[in-house]
Amino acid sequence: MKQSWMTACFGGKCPAFGNDTGLFDKRNLNPMNTRNRGQYLTEASDGLPALSVAEHAKDKEYALKEITGIFTRAMGKKWPGRLYYVDPFSGPGRCVIKDSGEETVGSPLIAVRVPFNHYYFGDLNQSSIDSLRVRTNQIEDMASSEKTVCYFSGEATETLDEVLKELPPAGKSLGLAVLDPWAWDFSFDYLKRLTRNRRLDILINFNIGDMKRRWWEPSPRLDAFLNIPTDHREFFEMKGRGVPDARTLLDHYERELGKIGYDYTADDMPVRNSNNTPLYHIIYASRNKLGIKLRNAVSKKTASGQFKMFE
């Protein structure tokens, strides 16, 4: 496995592993620590930071395992040595469920277990990306494999230029990107730049729960995420609606995706809370019919698109 350490190396620091990375600095576990920007890190059984999450994270884990598995199995033969995976909001690779203490695997470590050839991981939280690197190195097959892994530390928007420089040549590779921030931490322009001229299928965490809860707050970030040229509240008011329902928002977003060539989308596996209220939809978008066929094979495996696959 070849590794590169991108933005974190700037400024002269490119630590190997150890206490000086901040990995074992318990202050990083404090949710009030502004470096974590409200995210909650806790400690996993391996002694490294993990995301503290709710039970429904198991749904996401299931969906990502299925989708990355089917994607690499189907596409690996057509694109030998040229499959890549991008995860700019990767987290530390492990999660701990708040109520039960059960541990789950985060998106980047799900992806390293399937046969992509190149990986691009990023997170604004330094201790998360440091921990992910340690965990990735601990996976036996990774060390001896031909895989390459690049790590980016910092705001996704700020590291995008570096990521684009490192990605494999656009016409000669096929990728899958998982865009899973807390809420709407990337703009539609970010998405356009990441995907321009690429064969890159995308999974987007479309956080419908937060969107509805915070709908009446002014939010240029939400406007930019939804690619709305004006205030989102005015935009949908102009169309004669109050708080739009989930379908209206998803349809709007998927229309915007269509404008940049993502003609094939699926969002029929909402992740719900214990009251059965949808929290977020994982939108799958592809420029290719085959991409969406693969994704749909996953929802067909579940009862009417509902997650009921774990005990």
127 near ligand SAM (CB under 6 A): no
Pull the structure tokens for residue 113: 């277990």
Q: How far is the CB of 234 from ligand SAM (least distance, A)?
A: 25
Q: Which stretch binds ligand SAM (CB under 6 A): 7-15, 17-25, 121-129, 196-204?
A: 121-129
d(CA 301, CA 109): 23
Helix, strand and coil content of the chain, in percent to the nearest 5, comes to: 40, 20, 40
Please enumerate in sequence order all residues whose Cβ is within 8 A of that of 300, keeping only pairs 6 or more positions apart, or say none: none
Alpha helices (runs of H) in 79-151, residue ranges in sequence order: 107-111, 126-138, 140-144
50 near ligand SAM (CB under 6 A): no
130 near ligand SAM (CB under 6 A): no
Taking CB under 6 A as the criterion, the residue among 117, 128, 265, 286 binding ligand SAM is 128
156 near ligand SAM (CB under 6 A): yes
Taking CB under 6 A as the criterion, the residue among 3, 39, 137, 306 binding ligand SAM is 39
Nearest-5° Cα angle at 41, 106 to 175 = 30
Helix/strand/coil for 96: strand
Taking CB under 6 A as the criterion, the residue among 8, 44, 86, 95 binding ligand SAM is 95
Evaluate whether 104 touches 94 at the Cβ level (below 8 Å).
yes
Note the Cα 297 to chain centre separation in Å: 21
Q: How far is the CB of 13 from ligand SAM (least distance, A)?
A: 19
Q: How far is the CB of 237 from ligand SAM (least distance, A)?
A: 28
Q: How far is the CB of 60 from ligand SAM (least distance, A)?
A: 6
Please enumerate in sequence order all residues whose Cβ is within 8 A of that of 278, keeping only pairs 6 or more positions apart, or say none: 208, 209, 246, 270, 271, 272
Taking CB under 6 A as the criterion, the residue among 5, 6, 106, 117 binding ligand SAM is 106
Evaluate whether 254 touches 226 at the Cβ level (below 8 Å).
no
Size of the site for ligand SAM (CB under 6 A): 20
The dihedral formed by the CA atoms of 118, 123, 128 and 132, expressed in degrees to the nearest 10: 0
Q: How far is the CB of 132 from ligand SAM (least distance, A)?
A: 9
49 near ligand SAM (CB under 6 A): no
123 near ligand SAM (CB under 6 A): yes
x/- map, 184-223, ligand SAM, by CB under 6 A: -x--------------------------------------
180 near ligand SAM (CB under 6 A): yes
d(CA 234, CA 241): 9
Give the nearest residue (CB) to ligand SAM: 106
Closest CA to 179 of 169, 194, 164: 194
d(CA 266, CA 295): 8
CB closer to ligand SAM out of 175 and 181: 181
125 near ligand SAM (CB under 6 A): yes
Q: How far is the CB of 99 from ligand SAM (least distance, A)?
A: 17
d(CA 162, CA 94): 25
Which residues are at the interface with ligand SAM (CB under 6 A)? 39, 51, 88-91, 95, 106-107, 122-125, 128, 155-156, 180-182, 185
